[in-house]
């Protein structure tokens, strides 16, 4: 399991839900490549409304239901690993926005592979 504490870099990629890479959702390709690259984590968030460089408003409201809602993919790892991953994003993201933010990792705990328990379970209560 990857260990990550202290200073880190967060990359956020804003794309459309209907963006694809070789007949596969682009957000799925980005997450799988980030995993293969050994990055500490990736999450995909579906937006309910937004607009970008095209100035078209995309919304989930019933009367103007969009088939291309905004999606944000957030990746976090050390600056070195994130910057090494950026060329892949340059290859994948044709339309969209990619931003970098310095961040501080306060807690990064996963599940124990054997027990399925999180790092908090089984600890004594104070």
- The upper half-sphere exposure of residue 61, i.e. CA atoms within 13 Å in the direction of its Cβ, equals 7
pLDDT at 92: 97
Q: Is residue 94 part of a domain?
A: yes
Give the pLDDT confidence score for residue 65 in this predicted structure: 54
Assign residue 98 the CATH number of its domain. Answer: 3.30.70.120
> Contact, 12 vs 73, CB < 8 A?
yes
Residue 39 lies in a domain: yes
pTM for the full model? 0.80
pLDDT at residue 125, as a whole number: 44
> pLDDT at position 126, please?
43
What is the CB neighbour count within 10 angstroms for residue 20? 12
Count how many domains the chain has.
1
Any domain includes 22: yes
| pLDDT number for residue 53 | 77
Vertex 18: Cα angle to 10 and 99 (nearest 5): 20
Q: Is the dihedral of CA 46, 47, 53, 57 positive or negative?
A: positive
Mean pLDDT in consecutive groups of 10 residues from the start of the chain, 126 residues = 81 94 97 97 90 72 66 96 97 95 90 61 48
pLDDT of residue 68: 75
Domain assignment present for residue 77? The answer is yes
Domain span including residue 64: 6-105
């Amino acid at each position: 399991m990857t260990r990550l504490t202290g200073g880190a870099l967060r990359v956020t990629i804003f794309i459309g839900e209907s963006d694809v890479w070789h007949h596969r959702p682009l957000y799925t390709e980005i997450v799988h490549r980030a995993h293969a690259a050994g990055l500490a984590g990736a999450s995909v968030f579906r937006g309910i409304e937004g607009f970008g460089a095209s100035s078209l408003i995309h919304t989930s409201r019933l009367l103007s239901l969009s088939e291309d809602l905004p999606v944000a993919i957030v990746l976090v790892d050390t600056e070195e690993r994130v910057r090494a991953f950026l060329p892949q994003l340059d290859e994948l993201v044709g339309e969209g926005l990619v931003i970098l933010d310095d961040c501080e990792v306060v807690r990064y705990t996963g599940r124990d592979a054997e027990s399925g328990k999180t790092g908090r379970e089984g600890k004594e209560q104070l």
